[in-house]
Amino acid sequence: MGNENAQSLPRLQEEAQRGLYDAAIHIGDFAYDMNTDNARVGDEFMKQIEEVAAYLPYMTVPGNHEEKYNFSNYRSRFTMPGDSEGLWYSFNVGPVHFIAIETEAYYFMNYGIKLLVKQYEWLKKDLIEANIPENRLITMLQRIQRPWIVAFGHRPMYCSNANSDDCTNHQSLVRVGLPIVNWFGLEDLFFEYKVDLLLWAHEHSYERLWPIYNFKVQNGSYENPYENYKAPVHIITGSAGCKEGREKFVPHKPEWSAYRSSDYGYTRMKAYNRTHLYLEQVSDDKEGAILDHVWLTKDNVLPSYNMDLLENKI
Protein backbone atom coordinates (compact mmCIF):
# COMPACT_ATOMS: atom_id res chain seq x y z
CA MET A 1 0.00 0.00 0.00
CA GLY A 2 1.53 3.29 -1.15
CA ASN A 3 0.69 6.87 -0.38
CA GLU A 4 -0.38 7.27 -4.03
CA ASN A 5 -3.47 5.30 -5.05
CA ALA A 6 -3.90 3.88 -1.53
CA GLN A 7 -7.41 2.94 -2.55
CA SER A 8 -8.28 0.72 0.42
CA LEU A 9 -6.98 3.12 3.06
CA PRO A 10 -10.18 5.16 3.70
CA ARG A 11 -12.19 1.99 4.25
CA LEU A 12 -9.51 0.59 6.56
CA GLN A 13 -9.39 3.85 8.51
CA GLU A 14 -13.16 3.85 9.02
CA GLU A 15 -13.30 0.19 10.04
CA ALA A 16 -10.38 0.53 12.45
CA GLN A 17 -12.03 3.49 14.15
CA ARG A 18 -15.28 1.53 14.48
CA GLY A 19 -13.38 -1.09 16.46
CA LEU A 20 -13.78 -3.82 13.86
CA TYR A 21 -10.25 -5.15 14.33
CA ASP A 22 -7.89 -6.21 17.11
CA ALA A 23 -4.80 -5.66 14.94
CA ALA A 24 -3.68 -4.86 11.40
CA ILE A 25 -0.93 -6.70 9.54
CA HIS A 26 0.86 -4.93 6.69
CA ILE A 27 3.01 -7.50 4.89
CA GLY A 28 5.69 -5.28 3.39
CA ASP A 29 5.97 -2.52 0.74
CA PHE A 30 5.11 0.83 2.31
CA ALA A 31 4.66 4.26 0.69
CA TYR A 32 6.53 3.41 -2.58
CA ASP A 33 9.02 4.22 -1.25
CA MET A 34 9.72 5.48 2.26
CA ASN A 35 13.18 6.72 1.26
CA THR A 36 11.90 8.75 -1.73
CA ASP A 37 12.48 12.51 -1.77
CA ASN A 38 14.84 12.36 1.19
CA ALA A 39 12.25 10.23 3.06
CA ARG A 40 9.48 12.83 2.76
CA VAL A 41 7.29 10.21 1.06
CA GLY A 42 7.81 8.00 4.10
CA ASP A 43 6.81 10.86 6.40
CA GLU A 44 3.60 11.40 4.44
CA PHE A 45 2.78 7.69 4.48
CA MET A 46 3.21 7.47 8.24
CA LYS A 47 0.72 10.33 8.62
CA GLN A 48 -1.72 8.49 6.35
CA ILE A 49 -1.73 5.33 8.43
CA GLU A 50 -2.06 7.19 11.76
CA GLU A 51 -5.83 6.86 11.53
CA VAL A 52 -5.40 3.09 11.61
CA ALA A 53 -2.27 2.68 13.75
CA ALA A 54 -3.54 5.02 16.49
CA TYR A 55 -6.44 2.65 17.17
CA LEU A 56 -4.80 -0.78 17.10
CA PRO A 57 -1.45 -2.56 16.80
CA TYR A 58 -0.08 -2.05 13.27
CA MET A 59 2.15 -5.08 12.71
CA THR A 60 4.67 -5.07 9.87
CA VAL A 61 7.42 -6.89 8.02
CA PRO A 62 9.68 -5.41 5.32
CA GLY A 63 9.24 -5.98 1.60
CA ASN A 64 11.55 -5.41 -1.33
CA HIS A 65 10.58 -1.71 -1.50
CA GLU A 66 12.19 -1.17 1.91
CA GLU A 67 15.63 -2.43 0.87
CA LYS A 68 17.29 0.96 0.29
CA TYR A 69 20.15 1.70 2.73
CA ASN A 70 19.82 -1.73 4.33
CA PHE A 71 16.14 -1.26 5.27
CA SER A 72 17.02 1.81 7.35
CA ASN A 73 13.70 3.60 6.86
CA TYR A 74 11.80 0.50 7.91
CA ARG A 75 14.01 -0.17 10.92
CA SER A 76 13.71 3.41 12.21
CA ARG A 77 9.96 3.89 11.64
CA PHE A 78 8.41 0.67 12.97
CA THR A 79 8.95 -0.88 16.41
CA MET A 80 7.97 -4.55 16.58
CA PRO A 81 8.44 -7.20 19.30
CA GLY A 82 11.75 -8.97 19.79
CA ASP A 83 15.31 -7.86 19.13
CA SER A 84 15.54 -8.11 15.33
CA GLU A 85 14.55 -4.49 14.59
CA GLY A 86 11.20 -5.69 13.28
CA LEU A 87 12.65 -8.00 10.65
CA TRP A 88 11.23 -11.15 12.27
CA TYR A 89 9.32 -11.80 15.49
CA SER A 90 6.27 -13.55 16.91
CA PHE A 91 3.30 -12.57 19.05
CA ASN A 92 0.03 -14.01 20.33
CA VAL A 93 -3.53 -12.74 19.92
CA GLY A 94 -6.25 -14.89 21.46
CA PRO A 95 -5.88 -18.49 20.21
CA VAL A 96 -3.45 -17.53 17.41
CA HIS A 97 0.35 -17.59 17.43
CA PHE A 98 1.55 -15.18 14.72
CA ILE A 99 5.03 -15.42 13.19
CA ALA A 100 6.52 -12.61 11.08
CA ILE A 101 9.41 -13.49 8.75
CA GLU A 102 11.70 -11.44 6.53
CA THR A 103 11.69 -12.96 3.07
CA GLU A 104 14.06 -10.30 1.73
CA ALA A 105 17.03 -11.97 3.41
CA TYR A 106 16.82 -14.52 0.58
CA TYR A 107 17.05 -11.89 -2.16
CA PHE A 108 19.42 -9.16 -0.98
CA MET A 109 22.48 -11.24 -0.25
CA ASN A 110 24.67 -8.14 -0.62
CA TYR A 111 23.95 -7.62 3.09
CA GLY A 112 25.39 -11.04 3.90
CA ILE A 113 24.05 -14.45 4.85
CA LYS A 114 24.20 -14.04 8.63
CA LEU A 115 20.71 -12.55 8.95
CA LEU A 116 19.18 -15.38 6.91
CA VAL A 117 20.83 -18.03 9.08
CA LYS A 118 19.93 -16.24 12.29
CA GLN A 119 16.30 -15.92 11.24
CA TYR A 120 16.10 -19.59 10.24
CA GLU A 121 17.48 -20.75 13.57
CA TRP A 122 15.15 -18.41 15.45
CA LEU A 123 12.15 -19.57 13.39
CA LYS A 124 12.80 -23.25 14.07
CA LYS A 125 13.13 -22.60 17.79
CA ASP A 126 9.92 -20.53 17.80
CA LEU A 127 7.99 -23.25 15.95
CA ILE A 128 9.20 -25.95 18.36
CA GLU A 129 8.05 -23.87 21.32
CA ALA A 130 4.71 -23.08 19.67
CA ASN A 131 4.05 -26.82 19.33
CA ILE A 132 4.74 -27.94 22.90
CA PRO A 133 1.63 -29.42 24.53
CA GLU A 134 0.97 -26.60 26.99
CA ASN A 135 0.92 -24.15 24.08
CA ARG A 136 -1.06 -26.07 21.48
CA LEU A 137 -2.56 -29.38 22.57
CA ILE A 138 -5.51 -30.41 24.72
CA THR A 139 -4.44 -31.90 28.02
CA MET A 140 -6.40 -33.35 30.92
CA LEU A 141 -5.62 -30.36 33.13
CA GLN A 142 -6.01 -27.31 30.91
CA ARG A 143 -7.71 -25.88 27.87
CA ILE A 144 -6.05 -25.39 24.52
CA GLN A 145 -3.92 -22.25 24.49
CA ARG A 146 -2.93 -21.31 20.94
CA PRO A 147 -3.83 -24.08 18.47
CA TRP A 148 -3.56 -21.78 15.43
CA ILE A 149 -0.17 -20.89 13.94
CA VAL A 150 -0.25 -18.18 11.27
CA ALA A 151 2.95 -16.99 9.58
CA PHE A 152 3.33 -14.00 7.29
CA GLY A 153 6.10 -12.66 5.05
CA HIS A 154 6.38 -10.53 1.94
CA ARG A 155 7.33 -12.77 -0.99
CA PRO A 156 5.18 -15.87 -1.58
CA MET A 157 6.34 -19.39 -2.31
CA TYR A 158 3.68 -19.92 -4.98
CA CYS A 159 1.66 -17.64 -7.27
CA SER A 160 0.02 -17.78 -10.69
CA ASN A 161 0.64 -14.20 -11.76
CA ALA A 162 1.70 -13.37 -15.32
CA ASN A 163 5.15 -12.02 -14.50
CA SER A 164 8.67 -13.24 -13.77
CA ASP A 165 8.58 -12.95 -9.95
CA ASP A 166 10.27 -15.71 -7.99
CA CYS A 167 6.97 -17.24 -6.89
CA THR A 168 6.31 -18.21 -10.52
CA ASN A 169 9.41 -20.45 -10.41
CA HIS A 170 9.25 -24.06 -9.27
CA GLN A 171 12.29 -23.60 -7.01
CA SER A 172 11.44 -20.26 -5.38
CA LEU A 173 14.06 -19.22 -2.83
CA VAL A 174 11.68 -18.77 0.10
CA ARG A 175 10.24 -22.23 -0.53
CA VAL A 176 13.38 -24.34 -1.11
CA GLY A 177 16.21 -22.13 0.15
CA LEU A 178 19.50 -21.06 -1.37
CA PRO A 179 20.16 -22.20 -4.97
CA ILE A 180 21.79 -25.58 -5.66
CA VAL A 181 22.35 -26.45 -1.98
CA ASN A 182 18.71 -25.78 -0.99
CA TRP A 183 19.65 -24.63 2.51
CA PHE A 184 17.26 -22.68 4.78
CA GLY A 185 14.09 -23.26 2.77
CA LEU A 186 10.92 -22.48 4.72
CA GLU A 187 8.30 -24.82 3.24
CA ASP A 188 9.64 -27.93 4.97
CA LEU A 189 9.74 -26.11 8.32
CA PHE A 190 6.16 -24.87 8.00
CA PHE A 191 4.96 -28.32 6.99
CA GLU A 192 6.88 -30.20 9.67
CA TYR A 193 5.70 -27.92 12.46
CA LYS A 194 2.09 -27.85 11.27
CA VAL A 195 1.61 -24.18 10.48
CA ASP A 196 -2.03 -23.66 9.59
CA LEU A 197 -1.95 -20.55 7.45
CA LEU A 198 0.66 -18.59 5.47
CA LEU A 199 -0.08 -14.99 4.45
CA TRP A 200 1.95 -13.33 1.69
CA ALA A 201 1.96 -10.13 -0.37
CA HIS A 202 4.33 -8.80 -3.13
CA GLU A 203 1.85 -9.69 -5.91
CA HIS A 204 -0.68 -6.87 -6.38
CA SER A 205 -3.59 -9.28 -6.35
CA TYR A 206 -5.39 -11.82 -4.20
CA GLU A 207 -4.96 -15.57 -4.52
CA ARG A 208 -6.13 -18.40 -2.27
CA LEU A 209 -4.48 -21.79 -2.67
CA TRP A 210 -5.67 -25.24 -1.75
CA PRO A 211 -3.68 -26.78 1.13
CA ILE A 212 -0.35 -27.50 -0.54
CA TYR A 213 3.08 -29.00 0.06
CA ASN A 214 5.76 -29.38 -2.62
CA PHE A 215 3.27 -28.52 -5.38
CA LYS A 216 0.92 -31.31 -4.29
CA VAL A 217 -2.61 -30.46 -3.15
CA GLN A 218 -3.23 -31.87 0.34
CA ASN A 219 -6.94 -31.22 0.90
CA GLY A 220 -8.76 -32.63 3.88
CA SER A 221 -11.33 -34.24 1.58
CA TYR A 222 -12.98 -33.62 -1.77
CA GLU A 223 -16.15 -32.29 -0.14
CA ASN A 224 -14.38 -30.22 2.57
CA PRO A 225 -10.86 -29.34 1.40
CA TYR A 226 -10.13 -26.98 4.33
CA GLU A 227 -11.40 -29.33 7.04
CA ASN A 228 -8.62 -31.32 8.70
CA TYR A 229 -6.33 -30.19 5.90
CA LYS A 230 -3.03 -31.97 5.43
CA ALA A 231 -0.70 -29.05 4.62
CA PRO A 232 -0.54 -25.30 5.18
CA VAL A 233 -3.00 -22.98 3.43
CA HIS A 234 -1.44 -20.09 1.47
CA ILE A 235 -3.16 -16.75 0.82
CA ILE A 236 -1.56 -13.92 -1.17
CA THR A 237 -3.04 -10.54 -0.29
CA GLY A 238 -1.13 -7.62 -1.80
CA SER A 239 -3.80 -5.50 -3.44
CA ALA A 240 -4.56 -2.63 -1.03
CA GLY A 241 -3.49 -0.10 -3.68
CA CYS A 242 -0.33 1.60 -4.92
CA LYS A 243 0.96 3.56 -7.89
CA GLU A 244 2.23 0.40 -9.60
CA GLY A 245 -1.33 -0.85 -10.21
CA ARG A 246 -2.73 -4.36 -10.40
CA GLU A 247 -1.24 -7.72 -11.35
CA LYS A 248 -2.63 -10.03 -14.04
CA PHE A 249 -2.75 -13.82 -13.86
CA VAL A 250 -1.71 -16.54 -16.28
CA PRO A 251 -4.72 -17.58 -18.38
CA HIS A 252 -4.97 -21.16 -17.11
CA LYS A 253 -5.29 -21.40 -13.35
CA PRO A 254 -3.00 -24.10 -11.87
CA GLU A 255 -4.65 -27.02 -10.10
CA TRP A 256 -3.30 -25.80 -6.75
CA SER A 257 -4.93 -22.36 -7.07
CA ALA A 258 -8.46 -22.15 -5.67
CA TYR A 259 -9.47 -18.51 -6.26
CA ARG A 260 -7.92 -15.40 -7.83
CA SER A 261 -8.88 -11.72 -8.08
CA SER A 262 -7.18 -8.50 -9.21
CA ASP A 263 -9.62 -6.22 -7.37
CA TYR A 264 -8.16 -3.68 -4.98
CA GLY A 265 -8.91 -4.79 -1.44
CA TYR A 266 -7.68 -6.54 1.69
CA THR A 267 -8.21 -9.66 3.79
CA ARG A 268 -10.04 -10.01 7.08
CA MET A 269 -9.39 -12.88 9.46
CA LYS A 270 -11.26 -13.98 12.58
CA ALA A 271 -10.43 -16.80 14.96
CA TYR A 272 -13.91 -17.75 16.10
CA ASN A 273 -12.65 -20.40 18.48
CA ARG A 274 -10.00 -23.07 18.78
CA THR A 275 -11.30 -25.16 15.88
CA HIS A 276 -12.64 -22.58 13.40
CA LEU A 277 -10.70 -19.84 11.60
CA TYR A 278 -12.47 -17.63 9.05
CA LEU A 279 -11.01 -15.46 6.26
CA GLU A 280 -12.69 -13.24 3.70
CA GLN A 281 -11.47 -11.00 0.91
CA VAL A 282 -12.93 -7.48 0.77
CA SER A 283 -13.18 -5.73 -2.61
CA ASP A 284 -12.77 -1.97 -2.39
CA ASP A 285 -13.59 -1.79 -6.10
CA LYS A 286 -17.01 -3.22 -5.27
CA GLU A 287 -17.60 -0.96 -2.25
CA GLY A 288 -16.71 -3.51 0.41
CA ALA A 289 -18.31 -6.59 -1.14
CA ILE A 290 -16.92 -9.95 -0.04
CA LEU A 291 -15.32 -11.63 -3.05
CA ASP A 292 -14.11 -14.80 -1.40
CA HIS A 293 -14.31 -16.51 1.96
CA VAL A 294 -13.04 -19.69 3.52
CA TRP A 295 -13.30 -21.56 6.84
CA LEU A 296 -10.29 -23.47 8.16
CA THR A 297 -11.60 -26.12 10.55
CA LYS A 298 -10.04 -29.00 12.41
CA ASP A 299 -11.37 -31.64 14.77
CA ASN A 300 -7.96 -32.10 16.33
CA VAL A 301 -6.13 -29.07 17.59
CA LEU A 302 -3.26 -29.89 15.27
CA PRO A 303 -3.80 -30.43 11.54
CA SER A 304 -3.94 -34.10 10.67
CA TYR A 305 -0.67 -34.12 8.71
CA ASN A 306 2.60 -35.34 10.24
CA MET A 307 1.10 -35.99 13.68
CA ASP A 308 3.92 -38.36 14.59
CA LEU A 309 6.61 -35.73 14.04
CA LEU A 310 5.56 -33.73 17.06
CA GLU A 311 5.62 -36.77 19.32
CA ASN A 312 9.16 -37.53 18.16
CA LYS A 313 10.35 -33.94 18.67
CA ILE A 314 9.15 -33.47 22.25
d(CA 194, CA 189): 8
d(CA 196, CA 199): 10
Q: Could you read off the pLDDT of 271-285 as tens digits, one per residue?
A: 998 899 999 999 999
% of the chain beyond a pLDDT of 70: 93
Nearest to 93 by CA among 122, 67, 56, 53: 56
Q: Given a cut of 80, is residue 94 above it in pLDDT? A: yes
pLDDT at 301: 61
d(CA 100, CA 83): 13
Lowest mean pLDDT among 29-33, 145-149, 232-236: 145-149
pLDDT at 274: 87
Which segments of 173-216 does DSSP mark as H helices, in order? Answer: 173-176, 187-192
Helix axes 68-77, 36-48, angle to 10 degrees: 30
Domain boundaries, the chain: 65-313
Q: Tell me the average pLDDT across 73-96.
A: 96
Q: Given a cut of 80, is residue 305 above it in pLDDT? A: no
CATH architecture of 65-313: 4-Layer Sandwich (3.60)
Q: Tell me the average pLDDT across 234-238.
A: 98
Residue 135: pLDDT band with limits 50, 70, 90: confident
pLDDT at 189: 97
Average pLDDT of the chain, as a whole number: 93
CB within 8 Å of 61: residues ≥ 6 apart: 27, 28, 86, 87, 88, 100, 101, 102, 103, 152, 153, 154
Residue 309: pLDDT band with limits 50, 70, 90: very low
Q: Given a cut of 50, is residue 30 above it in pLDDT? A: yes
Q: Tell me the average pLDDT across 28-41.
A: 97
Question: Residues 253, 245: contact at Cβ < 8 Å?
Answer: no
Q: Could you read off the pLDDT of 182-196 as tens digits, one per residue?
A: 999 999 999 999 999
Q: Given a cut of 90, is residue 142 above it in pLDDT? A: no
In this structure, how many other beta carbons lie within 10 angstroms of the beta carbon of residue 183? 13
CA distances from 251 to 28, 185, 292, 314 (A): 27, 29, 20, 46
Nearest to 267 by CA among 296, 295, 239: 239
pTM of the model: 0.94
Four-CA torsion 127, 133, 134, 140, nearest 10 degrees: 160
